[in-house]
Chain A
Amino acid sequence: MTMPSFDFVAAKSLDQAAEMAVSLGGKCQIMAGGTDVMPLLRDRLIRPELVVSLREIPGLDKIEFKPGEGLRIGALATLDQIQASPAVRDNLPAVAEAAHYVASKQIRCKGTMAGNICNASPSADTACILIVMGAKILTTKREIQIGDFFKGVKKTCLEPGELVREIFVPELKSGEGSGYLKHAVRKAMDLAIIGVASWVRMDGQKIADCRMAFGGAGVTPLRALQAEKHLKGKTYSEALLEEAAVLAAADAKPISDVRASAEYRSDMIRVYAKRSFKRALETLRS
């Protein structure tokens, strides 16, 4: 199918790409893996005069883990590289699993995690785990807490010409674990009906601290703040988790659409809140 006419440039550096984006404004479309941008171009939902590819910028595809700090994921690291990286699998398995949940091998081999969050789908598979891990987004201008990043459906807090350079995920310390579980009709190539991520720090049987976030049930991925509050400082039990899961479902603001009804989504948040929290408990660092 023919696409509207546009020019194409492979940027040499992130700063060069940012400059073009600033000077051309809406006439410029930045593209990393391109797996979300290409359908928009084809359907004429965006009509740029210039497409700027980031793929040839050297050094942006790094995946590095530093003990005592955490994981640095370059803006061009593909979801497939992240999922397969021993550094990610060994130290932050839930991040690798979330990357693997995205679409299919063909999409993961080109698409990036930075692109997945910049696309800002409410059900983005990598968003929830980054939120509960307290990730930071390093851009060409500043450092953004992941909790401040998503502003609406397909909307982020990025300013015009501001580009993501790196995603930083703090390491799991002793007694901490995390998990992300996605609920979809098909295992592959399907958007999540909902997804829930949990992070927990245990002190023996006591939940010293925890975070929970869900996607697909609101205009952005959301924290389950009531559920977190209910769990924190208490001794873990199945009954306590069930109570928290009910609160998580109450925090959700789902819509009914072709994938599922709002009622079903809320109830699945309750179920997956429990499962993801248990998954986090299963993966506690010693």
Chain B
Amino acid sequence: MKKAIKFMLNGDPVETLADTNVTMTDFLRRDMHLTGTKRGCEEGECGACTILLDRRPVASCLMLATEAEGHEIVTIEGIMEDGKLHPVQRQFVEKWALQCGFCTPGMIISAVALLEENPSPTEAEIRDAIAGNLCRCTGYAKIVEAIGAAAESLSRKVA
């Protein structure tokens, strides 16, 4: 079964048909060809599929594509600004906050959401924000460092 849906995807309006039984993860990857959003555990445990739904981080594997109707979705492909890496992305590169990279899109989306809600988080707040994102390579230290550095660079930008 298919349903017509209209929503905003990475700043652009989208009008399309979506299977009623497809998860947002699969819809993004298969129908929208946006493969940055990763398919991990598919039960909301790992955070690799994290996207922004109305600027809030959610697990896209626990969301039906049809639920996007009338809402705004942002994926890892949609956070660059003026063709430049988002400060969180840049700091992940500079601080070596990734190894295999599979958790990275979800991790970065969670960090972007955190910094929008709380521009100067403590280390505990950073760790709380990414508690739903599993990384099996880095041991998290570099990720936490990168998010902290991104917060600083964003606050400098505002000031």
Chain A interfacial positions (CB closer than 8 Å to B): 1-8, 10, 34-35, 38-39, 41-42, 51, 53, 55-56, 80, 103-107, 109-110, 187-189
Contact B1 A110 (CB under 8 A): no
* 7 sample A-B contacts, Cβ–Cβ < 8 Å, listed by A number: A5-B21, A6-B1, A10-B66, A10-B69, A41-B21, A105-B129, A189-B131
Contact B44 A38 (CB under 8 A): yes
Interface size band for B: 20 to 34
Contact B3 A110 (CB under 8 A): no
Q: How far is the CA of A107 from the CA of B22 in the complex (A)?
A: 19
Contact B132 A80 (CB under 8 A): no
If A34-B67, A105-B110, A107-B132 are given as contacts, then 20 extra A-B residue pairs at C-beta distance below 8 Å, sorted by A number, are A3-B21, A3-B23, A6-B20, A7-B20, A10-B69, A35-B44, A38-B23, A38-B62, A38-B63, A51-B64, A53-B64, A53-B66, A80-B56, A104-B133, A105-B129, A106-B47, A110-B56, A110-B59, A110-B63, A189-B132
Q: Give the distance to chain B from A142, nearest Cβ to Cβ, in Å.
A: 29
Contact B131 A104 (CB under 8 A): yes
**Residue on B with the closest CB to A10?**
B69
- Let me know if B145 is at the binding interface, CB within 8 A: no
Known: A5-B21, A6-B1. A109 touches B63 (CB 8 A): no
- The one of A42, A53, A80, A106 that contacts B110, using a Cβ cutoff of 8 Å: A106
Q: How far is the CA of A28 from the CA of B130 in the complex (A)?
A: 35
Provide the main secondary structure of the chain A interface. Answer: loop
Q: How far is the CA of A103 from the CA of B43 in the complex (A)?
A: 12
Contact A106 B132 (CB under 8 A): yes
Contact A1 B42 (CB under 8 A): yes
Q: How far is the CA of A104 from the CA of B109 in the complex (A)?
A: 14
Task: Provide the residues of chain A in CB contact with B50, threshold 8 Å.
Answer: 106
Q: How far is the CA of A110 from the CA of B67 in the complex (A)?
A: 11
Number of A-B contacts (CB under 8 A): 99
Q: Give the distance to chain A from B80, nearest Cβ to Cβ, in Å.
A: 22
Q: How far is the CA of A189 from the CA of B44 in the complex (A)?
A: 9
Q: Give the distance to chain A from B154, nearest Cβ to Cβ, in Å.
A: 19
Task: Provide the residues of chain B in CB contact with A38, threshold 8 Å.
Answer: 23, 43-44, 61-64
Task: Provide the residues of chain A in CB contact with B31, threshold 8 Å.
Answer: none
- Let me know if B70 is at the binding interface, CB within 8 A: yes
Contact B44 A107 (CB under 8 A): yes
- The one of A5, A10, A80 that contacts B1, using a Cβ cutoff of 8 Å: A5
Q: Give the distance to chain A from B20, nearest Cβ to Cβ, in Å.
A: 4
Contact B64 A107 (CB under 8 A): no
**Residue on B with the closest CB to A2?**
B21
**Residue on A with the closest CB to B117?**
A84
Task: Provide the residues of chain B in CB contact with A6, threshold 8 Å.
Answer: 1, 20-21
Contact B128 A107 (CB under 8 A): no
Task: Provide the residues of chain B in CB contact with A110, threshold 8 Å.
Answer: 53, 56, 58-59, 62-63
